[in-house]
């Protein structure tokens, strides 16, 4: 189910997508050079690299979704409505029966032709176990549709506080590491729970590549771009400067990791003011074992030892560092998560409440951060200074408090992104700033 199928339904094509070797390190998964992106739909017709992806007619997808019937709707986002469908002999002769998700572009929505082409550009060329598969697309007249493999368990947003979060976390980390390890890194730019889809076995896959962007080249330290993303997940230096790097994705990963660890959404306006932004509220106590145990999601009790929770908390703390250069790479994140997979998950014998530090990785000394806002540098320097004071007082490298970064203040403008945003006052909103 859900493979990139050819028109004959046998799942083969003359131009297979770039595959990831699962026996390699995540950074070595993707050594391919992507074709230049199509400038428009007509240009898309001329690019042979998408030969593995089907081109459907609007009529075929109308039949597949039962005339886009309301009871087939899976959800709605900034792109448009997503329908469940089945492509089989009745839709296209010779096509093996396949459950699909059909995303229909809303011409009046937040995203448009540019984002539609971006999705085809990346998912039409890349294949990885932790990226959703693009089966095909449709471009007829003003119609713009994308056809993906169907993910039965929906988005992580619906399963945020349930089991298997360690498996899900590792899968999403591998997906980001794969993107960052491309010949020219691919920055996902909108990492959040609603963009992480789960198959029947809770294997996590990244979806919605409409905002993805190629990273810096050569000696470049960043790419400058308009600020887009989702409040609560976007990295502070990106919001303040528009400077985008792979470390921006690492920050978003840290937010999702924190959501899963604490059992709260990234932003929640129903909570007291100081608790509405999860990162600002929770990050200062992530390195305090006793305090951490008071805020960790109680539903994780018995699933993971305190040792595992402490390591995950420290990893989240590092991913959320206000200075991007002090964040780990996604390869380092994958290594850390893989290293704790074999640890006992529910052993009381492994209780560690002494607050001892766990070294996850080494980071280089912070120098002059080109493209990093000066306030971030000051905060990083202040954090290092406080670190020295804490070592003298406590000898364990733990802080009683840390300065918070209020991203809500930094967001220039907010627009509703997901269908449920209109119904749920707690949900995050897409940040959009046009240059």
Same domain flag for 131 and 244:
no
Query: What is the rounded average pLDDT of the residues 89-96?
Result: 92
Separation in Å, CA 193 to CA 196, 281, 309: 5, 19, 20
Q: Of 81-95, 201-215, 222-236, 405-419, which range is least confident?
A: 405-419
Residue 113 lies in a domain: yes
Query: What is the rounded average pLDDT of the residues 310-329?
Result: 96
Residue 404 lies in a domain: yes
Same domain flag for 83 and 208:
no
In this predicted model, what pLDDT tens digit does every residue of 103-148 receive, in sequence order?
998 877 666 778 888 899 899 888 899 999 999 999 888 899 999 9
Instruction: Give the pLDDT band of residue 242 (cuts 50, 70, 90).
Output: very high
Contact 305, 347 (CB under 8 A): yes
Same domain flag for 236 and 193:
yes
Structure tokens at 139: 């471009």
Instruction: Mark the binding-site residues, compressed into ranges.
Output: 103
Q: Is the pLDDT of residue 352 over 60?
A: no
Query: What is the rounded average pLDDT of the residues 294-315?
Result: 87
Contact 106, 80 (CB under 8 A): yes
Residue 289 lies in a domain: yes
- Rounded to a whole number of angstroms, the CA Rg of the chain reads 22
Same domain flag for 291 and 160:
yes
Same domain flag for 242 and 128:
no
Same domain flag for 316 and 225:
yes
Same domain flag for 135 and 162:
no
Q: Is 39 exposed, middle or buried (0-12, 13-18, 19+ CB in 10 A)?
A: exposed
Same domain flag for 209 and 120:
no
Instruction: Note the pLDDT of residue 409.
Output: 35
In this predicted model, what pLDDT tens digit does every residue of 157-188 receive, in sequence order?
887 666 688 899 999 999 999 999 988 899 99
What's the chain's average pLDDT? 76
Cα separation of 3 and 192, whole Å? 24
Same domain flag for 274 and 355:
yes
Which of 40, 43, 113, 190 is labelled catalytic?
Answer: 190
Same domain flag for 93 and 186:
no
User: Residue 422's domain spans which residues?
Assistant: 156-364+390-432
Domain of 323, CATH number, reads 1.10.510.10
Is there a catalytic annotation at residue 190?
yes
Same domain flag for 67 and 211:
no
Same domain flag for 335 and 425:
yes
- Domain limit, last residue, from 125, 149, 173: 149
Separation in Å, CA 56 to CA 62, 72, 87, 207, 245: 10, 19, 10, 20, 35
Q: Is the pLDDT of residue 81 over 60?
A: yes
Instruction: Give the pLDDT band of residue 31 (cuts 50, 70, 90).
Output: low
Residue 215 lies in a domain: yes
Considering Cα of 360, then 365, then 370, then 372, what sign does the dihedral take? Answer: positive
Residue 261 lies in a domain: yes
Domain of 75, CATH number, reads 3.30.200.20
Query: What is the rounded average pLDDT of the residues 349-378?
Result: 40
Instruction: Note the pLDDT of residue 183.
Output: 86
What burial letters (b/e) apply to 52-82, b meaning 16+ CB within 10 Å?
bbbebebebbbbbbeebeeebebbbbbbbbb
- Domain limit, last residue, from 149, 182, 197: 149
- Total domain count for the chain? 2
Q: Is the pLDDT of residue 271 over 70?
A: yes
Q: Is the pLDDT of residue 383 over 80?
A: no
């Amino acid at each position: 189910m859900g493979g990139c199928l050819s028109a004959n339904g046998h799942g083969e094509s003359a131009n297979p997508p770039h595959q990831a070797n699962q026996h390699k390190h995540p950074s070595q998964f993707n050594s391919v050079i992507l074709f230049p992106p199509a400038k428009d739909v007509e240009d898309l017709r001329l690019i042979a690299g998408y030969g593995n992806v089907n081109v459907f007619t609007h009529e075929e997808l109308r039949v597949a979704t039962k005339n886009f019937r309301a009871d087939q709707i899976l959800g709605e986002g900034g792109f448009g409505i997503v329908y469940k469908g089945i492509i089989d002999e009745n839709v296209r002769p010779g096509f093996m029966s396949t459950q699909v998700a059909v995303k229909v572009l809303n011409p009046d929505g937040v995203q448009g032709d540019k984002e539609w082409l971006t999705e085809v550009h990346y998912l039409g060329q890349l294949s990885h176990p932790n990226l959703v598969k693009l089966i095909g697309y449709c471009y007829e007249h003003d119609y713009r549709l994308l056809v993906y493999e169907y993910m039965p368990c929906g988005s992580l947003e619906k399963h945020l506080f349930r089991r298997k979060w360690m498996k899900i976390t590792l899968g999403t980390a591998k997906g980001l590491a794969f993107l960052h390890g491309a010949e020219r890194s691919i920055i996902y730019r909108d990492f959040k729970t609603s963009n992480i889809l789960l198959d029947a076995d809770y294997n996590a896959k990244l979806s919605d590549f409409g905002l993805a962007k190629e990273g810096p080249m050569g000696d470049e330290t960043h790419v400058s771009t308009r600020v887009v993303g989702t409040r609560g997940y976007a990295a502070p230096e990106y919001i303040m400067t528009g400077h985008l790097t792979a470390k921006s994705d690492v920050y978003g990963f840290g937010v999702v990791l924190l959501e899963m660890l604490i059992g709260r959404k990234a932003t929640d306006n129903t909570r007291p003011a100081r608790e509405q932004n999860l990162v600002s509220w929770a990050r200062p106590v992530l390195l305090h074992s006793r305090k951490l145990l008071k805020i960790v999601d109680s539903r994780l009790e018995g699933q993971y030892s305190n040792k595992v929770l402490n390591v995950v908390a420290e990893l989240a703390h590092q991913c959320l560092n206000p200075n991007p250069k002090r964040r780990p790479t996604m390869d380092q994140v994958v290594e850390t998560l893989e290293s704790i997979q074999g640890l006992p998950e529910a052993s009381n014998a492994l209780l560690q409440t002494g607050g001892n530090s766990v070294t996850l990785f080494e980071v280089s000394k912070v120098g002059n951060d080109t493209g990093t806002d000066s306030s971030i540098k000051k905060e990083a320097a202040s954090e290092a200074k406080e670190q020295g004071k804490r070592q003298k007082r406590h000898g364990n490298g733990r802080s009683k408090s840390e300065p918070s970064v209020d991203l809500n203040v930094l967001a220039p403008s907010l627009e509703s992104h997901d269908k449920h945003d209109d119904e749920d006052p707690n949900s995050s909103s897409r940040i959009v700033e046009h240059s």
